[in-house]
Amino acid sequence: MDIHEYQAKEILKNFGVPVPRGGIAFTPEQAAFRRLELGGGRCVVKAQIHSGGRGAAGGVKLCDTDEDVRDFARHLLGTALVTKQTDAAGKRIDRLWVEEASQIERELYLGFVLDRKSERIMIVASGHGGMEIEDLAEEDPDSLIRMILDPAVGLAEYQARELAFKLGLEGAQVGQMVTVLKACYRAYRDLDAMMVEINPLVVCADGSLVALDAKMSFDTNALFRRGEIAGLRDPGQEDPRESFAADHGLAYVGLDGDIGCIINGAGLAMASMDMIHLAGGAPANFLDIGGGASPERVCQAFRTVLSDPNVSVILVNIFAGINRCDWIARGVIQAYKDIGIGVPVVVRLSGTNVEAGRKLIRDSGLPIIDADTLAAAAEAAVAARPQSIAAE
């Protein structure tokens, strides 16, 4: 789960990271008032969306007067900002962050991420801040400093000092950098974060370090124990399909195809999407219905998949272990009764109670396409698409 810049800054500030003073605004008048609260001097107005590259896309501006702030706020609020990290529709701007301007002398990059190869937290830093990490890795890979942290020890002070020296910091700045690094590490560890990024971390004219921008993302599976973090979720920044799925406890990722997928297990879901591609189709989503799926849960999965208007066929592929094929079959039949499914449905069942499940499907009298294997199911789903979509 992602959060907004201002929310990430507030969290990091509470852990000890220095951030500029600022305030959130939902209207042009409120944005101008925030400038007055900051002393009435030069300020920065930033669009708050879940995307990087806002500055290059026109979502950030230095303002010197109240009228500048109001005009820019009117220009942004209610519109969609398209960046290189969004799709063509962009992200809707419903709030702005107004903060005091900083006198920047130097920009640094700092990120804490999960390195899946080493199964450790990794610090990634660079002396060239203000750029996206992907651009840094491509344009100046030698500038990237990587440091793996031992989970049994955490971030040792000598490691923090070593990183500060590698970034060219001197004197009191080294101590400040140690404070920033340790604060970011604690926030990452204590809040079940998946990423903490400060870009840029700036060296101001007076020599102080300030987090000028911040991003944080969190492990969705840990939100049940992080109520204060779960409350920061902004559904307006999410794919509506994914928001609907999250509200019903389903693991869902929207894609660009037209064949909806209802599958149990992430590995089987990935294999099913590969088979759809091999058969000449394109999946509309990744959906892992999970273990122990009840008929009601299956019905919610159908509602989730059908919330995408592009879906022309649904493929149900279940390999039952914890699940039971008869539960899945009852859920498919219930979905027909409760929702009124208007697209072809292909069902492939295997595993626990498979014969009972397939008998329920056959005896239902519903136009459900039964398949024996995953390959046959994928081919049947592609063949069942409307002629207009197949021609495309």
Query: What's the DSSP call for residue 215?
Result: E
Q: Indicate the SS3 state at residue 33.
A: helix
Integer angstrom CA distances of residue 130 from 136, 142, 211, 369: 10, 16, 11, 53
Measured between alpha carbons, how far is 210 from 19 in angstroms, rounded to an integer?
Answer: 5
Give the per-residue SS3 of 92-131. ECCCEEEEECCCEEEEEEEEEEEECCCCEEEEEEECCCCC
User: pTM for this one?
Assistant: 0.79
Share above pLDDT 90 across residues of the chain, in percent, rounded to a whole number: 70
Question: What is the CATH topology of the domain spanning 1-19+103-238?
Answer: D-amino Acid Aminotransferase; Chain A, domain 1 (3.30.470)
The mean predicted confidence, pLDDT, of the chain is 91
Q: Which of 113-127, 244-258, 347-361 has the lowest average pLDDT? A: 244-258
**Is 213 marked as binding a ligand?**
yes
Handedness of CA 217, 223, 225, 231 (dihedral sign): positive
**Is 317 marked as binding a ligand?**
no
Measured between alpha carbons, how far is 19 from 12 in angstroms, rounded to an integer?
Answer: 8
Average pLDDT over residues 149-161: 93
**Is 107 marked as binding a ligand?**
yes
Annotated active-site residue in 5, 6, 109, 188: 109
Place of tokens 């920044």: 237
The answer to whether residue 390 scores a pLDDT higher than 60 is: no
> Fold identical between 1-19+103-238 and 21-101?
no
Measured between alpha carbons, how far is 261 from 269 in angstroms, rounded to an integer?
Answer: 8
pLDDT number for residue 392? 55
pLDDT number for residue 2? 95
Q: Which of 20-24, 46-50, 66-70, 351-355 has the lowest average pLDDT? A: 351-355
Average pLDDT over residues 333-350: 90
pLDDT number for residue 388? 47
- DSSP assignment of 65-82 equals SHHHHHHHHHHHTTSEE-
132 is catalytic: no
Integer angstrom CA distances of residue 286 from 203, 266, 295, 335, 340: 43, 8, 19, 19, 22
Average pLDDT over residues 186-210: 95
- CA-CA-CA-CA dihedral for 133, 135, 136, 139, to nearest 10: 170
The answer to whether residue 18 scores a pLDDT higher than 80 is: yes
Measured between alpha carbons, how far is 247 from 314 in angstroms, rounded to an integer?
Answer: 21
CATH number of 21-101: 3.30.1490.20
Average pLDDT over residues 7-14: 98
User: With bands split at pLDDT 50, 70 and 90, how would you rate the model's confidence at 131?
Assistant: confident
pLDDT number for residue 280? 94
Average pLDDT over residues 208-224: 93
The answer to whether residue 66 scores a pLDDT higher than 50 is: yes
162 is catalytic: no
Measured between alpha carbons, how far is 127 from 202 in angstroms, rounded to an integer?
Answer: 10
pLDDT number for residue 337? 86
The answer to whether residue 257 scores a pLDDT higher than 90 is: yes
User: With bands split at pLDDT 50, 70 and 90, how would you rate the model's confidence at 245?
Assistant: confident
pLDDT number for residue 132? 76
For the chain, give percent helix, strand, coil, nearest 5: 40, 25, 35
**Is 53 marked as binding a ligand?**
yes
Integer angstrom CA distances of residue 153 from 74, 125, 213: 50, 20, 28
Measured between alpha carbons, how far is 332 from 302 in angstroms, rounded to an integer?
Answer: 8
Annotated active-site residue in 5, 6, 188, 197: 197
Average pLDDT over residues 18-30: 97
Domain boundaries, the chain: 1-19+103-238, 21-101, 240-391
pLDDT number for residue 239? 78
Measured between alpha carbons, how far is 127 from 241 in angstroms, rounded to an integer?
Answer: 39
Look up the CATH superfamily of 240-391: Succinyl-CoA synthetase domains (3.40.50.261)
pLDDT number for residue 322? 75
Average pLDDT over residues 216-239: 91
* Type of residue numbered 199: N
**What b/e readout covers 175-210, taking b as 16+ CB neighbours within 10 angstroms?**
ebbbbbbbbbbbbbbebebbebbbbbbbbbeeeebb
Average pLDDT over residues 95-121: 95
